[in-house]
Amino acid sequence: MEYICSTEDPDLREPFVGDQSSPETKVWFRKFLESPNVGFAIWDAHLRYIYLNEALARMHSMPANAHLGRTVYEVLGEAGPKVGAALREVLSTGQAVSNLEVIAKLPARAEARCWVGNCFPIEDAMGRVTQVGAVIVELAVDRKLEGRLTERAQRSEALLEFSTSLMSILDEQELWPSISALLQKVAPHDFARIALYDESIRRFRIHALDSRFAEELTDSDTVVPMSEAAYSPVFLHGEARFHNRDQLASSNSPVLQQLLATGIQSVCLLPLISKRKGTLGILHLGRERDDILDAEDVAFLQQVAAQIALALDNAAVYRENRELTAKLNKEKLYLEEEVRSAHDFEELVGESPALQRVLRDLHTVAPSNATVLILGETGTGKELVARAIHRLSSRNDAPFIKLNCAAIPTGLLESELFGHEKGAFTGAINQKIGRIELADKGTLFLDEVGEIPLELQPKLLRVLQDQEFERLGATRTIKVDIRLIAATNRDLAKSVSKHEFRSDLFYRLHVFPLRMPPLRERNKDIPLLVRYFVRKFANRMKKKIDTIPAEAMHALQNWMWPGNIRELENFIERSVILTQSTTLTVPLAELRTEHNGPPQSSTLEDLEREHILRVLRETGGVIAGMRGAAARLGMKRTTLQSRMQKLGITREEYQN
Residue 144 has a CB neighbour count (10 Å cut-off) of 8
pLDDT above 70 covers a percentage of the chain that reads 83
Q: Are 285 and 192 in contact (CB under 8 A)?
A: yes
Among 89-98, 159-168, 266-275, 556-565, where is mean pLDDT lowest?
159-168
Residue type at 603 in one-letter notation:
T
Please check the confidence at residue 551 and state whether its pLDDT lies above 80: yes
313-337: average pLDDT:
70
Q: What integer pLDDT is reported at residue 345 of this predicted model? A: 47
Mean pLDDT of the chain: 81
> In Å, how far are 54, 78, 299 from 144, measured between CA atoms?
29, 21, 19
Least confident of 196-200, 252-256, 333-337: 333-337
Ranking 52-56, 92-96, 147-151, 614-618 by mean pLDDT, the lowest is 147-151
Give yes or no for a contact between 275 and 307, defined as CB atoms under 8 angstroms apart: no
Confidence check: pLDDT of 215 > 80: no
Cα–Cα distance for residue pair 134/121, rounded to 1 Å: 9
Please provide residue 601's backbone torsions phi and psi, each rounded to the nearest 5 degrees.
Answer: -80, -5
Would you say residue 218 has pLDDT above 70? no
* Helix and strand numbers, DSSP H then E, in the chain: 25, 22
Cβ-proximal residues to 312 (8 Å cutoff; 6+ apart), any chain: 175, 196, 272, 274, 280
pLDDT (0 to 100) of residue 27: 60
When pLDDT is averaged across residues 52-63 and rounded to a whole number, the result is 89
pLDDT digits (tens, 9 = 90+) for 150-173: 666 666 776 777 777 777 777 777
pLDDT attached to residue 8: 41
Least confident window among 135-149, 164-178, 222-236, 238-252? 135-149
Please compute the mean of the pLDDT values over residues 48-55 and round it to a whole number. Answer: 92
* pLDDT above 80 (res 284): yes
User: Distance between CA 95 and CA 457 in Å, rounded?
Assistant: 75
Please give the residue that has the higher pLDDT: either 374 or 624: 374
Q: Name the β-bridge partners of 444.
A: 401, 484
Q: Provide the CA 519 distance to its chain's centre, in angstroms.
A: 47
Return contacts of 641-648, CB within 8 angstroms, 24+ apart: 643/608, 643/612, 644/612, 647/605, 647/608, 647/609, 647/612, 648/609
364 φψ region: left (φ > 0), alpha (ψ -120 to 50), beta (else): alpha
Of 449 and 180, the structure prediction assigns the larger pLDDT to 449
